[in-house]
Amino acid sequence: MNEERSYIPETAYASYALAWALLLALLILTIAVAKLSLLAAYSVIGSLFIATIKAGLVLMYFMHLGHEGRVVKGMLLLAVAALFFIIALTFSDVWYR
Amino acid sequence: MAINSDSESVVRPAEKGGVDYAGKKIGMWLFLFTELLFFGGMFLLYSVYRAQYPAEFHAGAQEENLLLGSINTTVLLTSSFTIALAIAAIRRGDRALSMYMQSLTILFGICFLIIKYFEWAAKISMGIYPDSQLLLNMGKGDILFFSLYFVMTGIHGIHVLIGAVAISIMLVYTWRGSINRNSFVRLENTGLYWHFVDIVWIYLFPLFYLVT
Amino acid sequence: MTEARADDMAQQEPSFYHEHGRYRGVFAWLMSTDHKRIGLMYLGALLSFFSVGVLLGVLIRLSLIAPGMVLNAQQYNEVFTVHGIIQIFLFIIPGIPVAFGNFFLPIMIGARDVAFPRLNRLTLWLYLAGAAIVLLSLFIKGEPPDTGWTFYAPYSIQTKANVSLAVLGVFVLGFSSIFTGLNFVTTIHRMRAPGMGWFRLPLFVWTLYATGWVQILATPVLAITLVFIILGRIFGVGFFDPSKGGDPILYEHLFWAYSHPAVYIMVLPAMGIISEVMPTFARHRIFGYKAIVYSALGIATVGYFVWGHHMFTSGMSDTARIVFSFITFLVAVPSGVKVFNWVATLYKGSIQVDSPLLFALSFIFLFSIGGLTGLIIGSLAPNLHVHGTYFIVAHFHYVMFGGVGFAIFAGLHYWFPKMFGRMFSEKVAKTGWAFLFVGFNVLYFSMFILGYQGMPRRYFEPPPQYHGWSVVSTIGSWLLAVGIIIIFSNLIRSLFKGPKASSNPWGGRTLEWSISSPPPAENFTEIPVIKEGFYGNK
């Protein structure tokens, strides 16, 4: 089967291992933040912030988003923005009802 | 010249036999965006009901089994690692390693589902499941929290199952050699799907187990 | 014009109808991955469902002037539900993209097929399966769905009718729609012929692109909402059930977050057809190519965020009502831009009044009425008065049928010679158009008057003071049905008896007119190289 060459460069195994280690470290961190009574007040923001960092790691290291062109990046932005606006507009009802 | 998916100036002639590599990747990303909006509907419900019943959601999260949840997160993160290795291996022409890593990914997926099963079973044996008498006697916030828990983890679980089946099919292709170092975009796209399912869990985990 | 020239015939290649693939008979069609065959199968299915839907609509009108004589109250609810489900989900949402889009998108961008031909075939199977499931819900044991096509919770979760099955069918149809959108967006990104830059794309392709995005980003929201209904019915999950803490208004949010963008899934490609037909028959370059492109993208973007205007009377917060009303006014701007562009295209053209142009001009007229009345009900104060009345029914039929329906007829007549290689009788087509146009306005304009007078929607037995205009409206429905019969019988007759069509009977400039009618199996012997835009633009 003939196929065009991939524009995503071959990645060292070690770089995946690094990402994996970082993800596990962040997992421990997010549990710690939620369980430490000191930080409990920030648990929602903190957890979602850490989750977003983790998602970013998966996107950049495992899914190679950085090597995709502007088209895919722009599309991702569009999809996330669409979801954000749907939730925001729904809250314009729920919060002020 | 680097071949870039947005090299719009070099428009390829459209020949029979479908779209090129970049097109296949775009197709998969677009599919993931539909999945994002699909799960988005659930996250919308979660955030609205959480805003309405913060205390009950707080109490509900403490009912969850944090240990099992954390183990499952580890399992899924590791499976993302192994599927990434499987793709890296096939690109180096290491078919055996790739097949090994794919099998490992499938095993992790199944492992995730088994742990999930025990979590669900524990809840159900306590009498907590949608529409159960025990649940209906609780407050409205609790009903919503546990219903959301079952629905969101359930639909996520179905996606894990679909992913595991897809990787099994890729495993057969790799074994037969139709996925090889020159042609691996199907495995790559399956990997993208698997990572996406992982990302969904990365958000589900704090929302149901941690946020207090 | 209807006579094919001899030299034109001489260079005809064997058409795609002769390319069976591996199978024979019906499987040569069902198993085909050829975008043209898939498009034609969609077209056949769509027009069949459309005819059934029209029949049910005529039945509704009949029942309204003689309540109880034709249908009883429960049957009335079922008939208008099924009318809505068929016309919306089986006909007009898939509508233009799956039929004309499939057939012409690859040809118009100079490709041999779509990006994912097998996925394309899968969408057809999903569409047929979804349609079968929806129809099954009408005929198996139990009652047909009686919720209206919107499946509003909590009634849709409580009713004993076969809602689960109908909802499952719509879910499957949604997948078909998602994959079509995904396929088209990828195709437009990656399969354009050399030299076909973004601003050389035919306008129909641009609208399909915008539509594809709406399909991708909106349909999944409907899918998950339908899953919630099924879970509610089977497992008692109470996300929309107030007794279990749920919020029925959230159902409406989720439902319209899809179903309003769905209006643009229908209307955008309709606008694309009009943008093709106008310059061809005006024999004049399109006025403001880029304005049409940007307004299509603008409609797709802004149209995504106006869903709340379906919910002004549902108990939504005042803040949300003001926000949604404001955005609704915004979306009128790009639609208006388009109308002016089309009209300006006629200026100083040498206009040839053939049937496709008549349908296109009717589109502009009827869509403008639909759009402008949309502004009336998009503002909060009037909306509260007319929301529950026939004013709304009239408005959306002007947009859906007067807009999209007429555009489909325009496209059908415009591309008929290309798809089937035969010409139809122009005289009969015009007669059919006249009946349809007059019937349409008698049918639905009466509803504006009835709505303005306060006749409530959905009632089985309207109060007696509305009887007069009701009768007028029903007579309109008969005229309209006669028009559709004339149009269809003309086209069906021409399939077999029509004179052979030349490759370019109308003088169209886009790529589909550069190949023979019907097109050869792989569209082009040689992929064309595009040197300039098709409407005199660079």
| A96 contact B CB<8A | no
Burial class (CB in 10 A: 0-12, 13-18, 19+), B135: buried
The residue of chain C nearest to residue A94, with distances taken between CA atoms, is C317
CB contact under 8 A, B47 and A59: no
| B95 contact A CB<8A | no
The two structure tokens encoding residue C244: 């279990």
Q: Please report residues of B whose CB lies closer than 8 A to that of C221.
A: 37-38, 40-41
Distance, CA of C357 to CA of C537 (rounded, Å): 22
Q: Where are the alpha helices (DSSP H) in A7-94?
A: 13-35, 43-57, 70-94
The residue of chain A nearest to residue B70, with distances taken between CA atoms, is A27
| A85 contact B CB<8A | no
Measured CA distances, B40 to A63, B44, C377, C398, C525 (Å): 20, 6, 30, 33, 45
Question: With 70 as the cut, is the pLDDT of residue C256 above it?
Answer: yes
pLDDT in tens, B70-123: 999 999 999 999 999 999 999 999 999 999 999 999 999 999 999 999 999 999
Cα separation of the two ends of chain B = 52
8 A C-beta contact, residue C495 and residue C102: no
φ, ψ of residue C5 to 5 degrees: the values are -75, 150
Measured CA distances, C61 to B4, B62, C57, C407, C463 (Å): 57, 58, 6, 24, 15
The two structure tokens encoding residue C250: 């959230």
Distance, CA of B85 to CA of C255 (rounded, Å): 41
| B169 contact A CB<8A | no
Nearest alpha carbon to residue C511 among C496, C492, C530, C490? C530
| String of DSSP letters for chain B | ----TT-TTSPPP--SS---HHHHHHHHHHHHHHHHHHHHHHHHHHHHHHHH-HHHHHHHHHHS-HHHHHHHHHHHHHHHHHHHHHHHHHHTT-HHHHHHHHHHHHHHHHHHHHHHHHHHHHHHHTT-STT-HHHHHS-HHHHHHHHHHHHHHHHHHHHHHHHHHHHHHHHHHHHHTSSBTTB-HHHHHHHHHHHHHHHHHHHHHIIIII--
Q: Which residue bears the tokens 């490709």?
A: C111
| Interface residues of chain A, partner chain C, Cβ below 8 Å | 71, 78-79, 82, 85-86, 89-90, 92-97
pLDDT in tens, B127-159: 999 989 999 999 999 999 999 999 999 999 999
Q: How many CB atoms lie within 10 A of CB C468?
A: 12
Q: Please report residues of C whose CB lies closer than 8 A to that of B193.
A: none
Residues 6+ apart with CB under 8 A from B107: none
> Which one-letter amino acid corresponds to residue C92?
I
Distance to chain C for A1, nearest Cα, Å:
16
Give the confidence band of A42 by pLDDT, cuts at 50, 70, 90: confident
> Which one-letter amino acid corresponds to residue C116?
F
What's the pLDDT score for residue C22? 80
Q: Which chains neighbour B (Cβ–Cβ under 8 Å, 3 or more pairs)?
A: A, C
Beta bridge partners of C520: C15
pLDDT in tens, C201-225: 999 999 999 999 999 999 999 999 9
Q: How many CB atoms lie within 10 A of CB B191?
A: 27
> How high is the mean pLDDT of chain C?
93
- The 3-class secondary structure across C43-58, one letter per residue, is HHHHHHHHHHHHHHHH
8 A C-beta contact, residue C62 and residue C21: no
pLDDT in tens, C455-479: 999 999 999 999 999 999 999 999 9
Torsion C50-C207-C304-B197 (CA) sign:
positive
Give the confidence band of A20 by pLDDT, cuts at 50, 70, 90: very high
Question: With 70 as the cut, is the pLDDT of residue C8 above it?
Answer: no
Question: With 80 as the cut, is the pLDDT of residue B166 above it?
Answer: yes
